[in-house]
Structure 1
Amino acid sequence: MNVKQYYLDANALLEGHFLLSSGKHSPFYLQSARVLENPKVAQELAESLALQIKDFGLEVDCICSPALGGILAGYELARALGVRFIFTERVEGKMTLRRGFEISPNEKILICEDIITTGGSALESASCVEELGACIVGFAGLANRGFCKRVGSKLEAKPEGKLPSNLPLFALDDFVFEIFAPEDCPLCQEGKLPAIKPGSRGN
């Protein structure tokens, strides 16, 4: 599957000057919402991701996603795997399980994002449901930004990657873009327009 082409076809591989959730800057941004607005495409991507998970032999009872960006990807993955779906959301800065969602003791939960960058938000969701008795069996995303090691990739994890090395990460492809600390960003130094944040917690 050529995942990059899906993003290009949806005008979802953006080029410019972007502020990432990590606080760093990048000349590229993946806008998964543009890809997932097409239900047929969302289904195709999720089914391909589900096939990876099934081939790996991972047993999953439930998919959990951090709101807002991971909800569409997580829901479609849950549908493809035939399991239930829940999501966590931030309340006063802390990831929380709300809306009547409940966790069964030792329920096997896979955390799903749209994009895995350092894995910070996914890890927050994992910690939230783990505190309620869940057993985290792995992580997934449509795309991996290359900081965390995924199943089937030759790329090694980088120091910035936050996901635990003892649990599998599934993604359809690696997207490795240059990322800069704000003080070292050449786009800032060149006087480009201010970095914008087109994700779910920004513009």
Structure 2
Amino acid sequence: MNLEALYKEAGAYLEGHFLLSSGNHSQFYLQSAKVLEDPKLAGKLAEALAQQIHDAGLEIDTVCSPALGGVLAGYELARALHVRFIFTERVNGAMQLRRGFDVAPNERILVCEDIITTGGSALEAAACVEALGAKVLGFAALANRGFCKRAGSKLPASPTCKLPDDAPFFALGDFTFDIYSPEQCPLCQDGSSAIKPGSRGN
């Protein structure tokens, strides 16, 4: 599967000057919502991701995603795996499980995002359900931004990856874009202004 081609065909591989949720800048941005707006394509991607998880022998009870970006990807993955789906959301900056969702002691959870960069939001969702007694067995995303090591990839993890070493991370491909601090951003130095895409901005 050529993930880059699929993102470009869907208009989800954006080029410009972007302010990321980390505060850093990049010339490229992956807008997974544009990929997931096509139910057939979303289902195809989820089936491919589910196959990786099956091949690894990982048995889970529930997929959990952090809202908002991970909800569509997580729901489609749960459907492909034939398991339950729940999501966490931020309340006053803290990730919480709400809306009547609950987890059982030792319930086997896979945390799913649309894109994982350093894995910060995924790790917050994991901590939320583990605090209620569940057990997180792994992580998944449609795409890996290249900071964490996914199963089957030769790309090493960077020091900024927050995902634990003892849980597998599944994704359909790696995207390795240059990221700059605002002070060192060549796009800023050329006089352009960064825009903030995604669920926390535009």
TM-score, normalized by length of structure 2?
Answer: 0.99
Give the secondary-structure state (helix, strand or coil) at the position aligned to 1:46. helix
For the residues of structure 1 that align with 2:102 and 2:33, how far apart are their CA atoms? 27
Structure 1, residues 83-125: CA drift from partner, whole Å, max 9, x if none?
A: 0000000000000000000101000000000000000000000
Q: How does 1:105-184 map to 2 (within 5 A)?
A: 105-184=105-184
SS in 1 for 2:180: coil
Gap regions ≥5 residues in structure 2: none
Q: Which residue does 1:202 correspond to in 2?
A: 201
**Whole-angstrom CA distance in 2 between matches of 1:29 and 1:84:** 30
Shift of 1:37: 0.1
The letter of the residue matching 1:130 is E
Paired residue type of 1:51: Q
Aligned residues: 202
Letter in 1 for 2:23: G
Shift of 1:70: 0.2
Shift of 1:197: 1.3
Identical pairs, percent:
72
Deviation for aligned residue 1:5 = 1.2
* 1:174 maps to amino acid: D
Residue 184 of structure 1 deviates from its aligned partner by 0.6
- Indicate the SS of the match to 2:179: coil
* Equivalent residue number for residue 91 of structure 1: 91
In structure 1, C-alpha distance between the alignment counterparts of 2:116 and 2:32, rounded to whole Å: 11
SS in 2 for 1:49: helix
| Runs of 4 or more above 3 Å deviation | none
Hey, what's the Cα distance between the residues in 2 that align with 1:5 and 1:60? 30
**Deviation string, structure 1 residues 37-94 (Cα, Å, up to 9, x no partner):** 0000000000000000000000110000000000000000000000000000000000
1:63 is matched with 63
Partner of 2:76: 76
Q: Following TM superposition, by how much is the alpha carbon of 1:196 offset from its aligned partner in structure 2, in angstroms?
A: 1.1
Q: Residue 114 of structure 1: SS of its match in structure 2?
A: strand
Cα distance in structure 2, aligned partners of 1:196 and 1:121: 21
**CA distance in structure 2 between the partners assigned to 1:197 and 1:171 by the alignment:** 24
SS at match of 2:139: strand
Q: Could you give the per-residue CA deviations for residues 22-49 of structure 1, whole angstroms, max 9, x where no partner exists?
A: 1110000000000000000000000000
Distance in 2 (CA, whole Å) between partners of 1:167 and 1:28 is 29
Offset at residue 21 of structure 1 (A): 1.2
Task: Give the letter aligned to residue 18 of structure 2.
Answer: F
Unaligned runs of 5+ in 1: none
Partner of 1:18: 18
Q: In 1, distance between residues paired with 2:156 and 2:21?
A: 22
> Which residue number corresponds to residue 6 of structure 1?
6
In the alignment, residue 196 of structure 1 is paired with which amino acid?
A: I
Residue 51 of structure 1 aligns to a residue whose secondary structure is helix
How high is the TM-score relative to the length of structure 1? 0.99
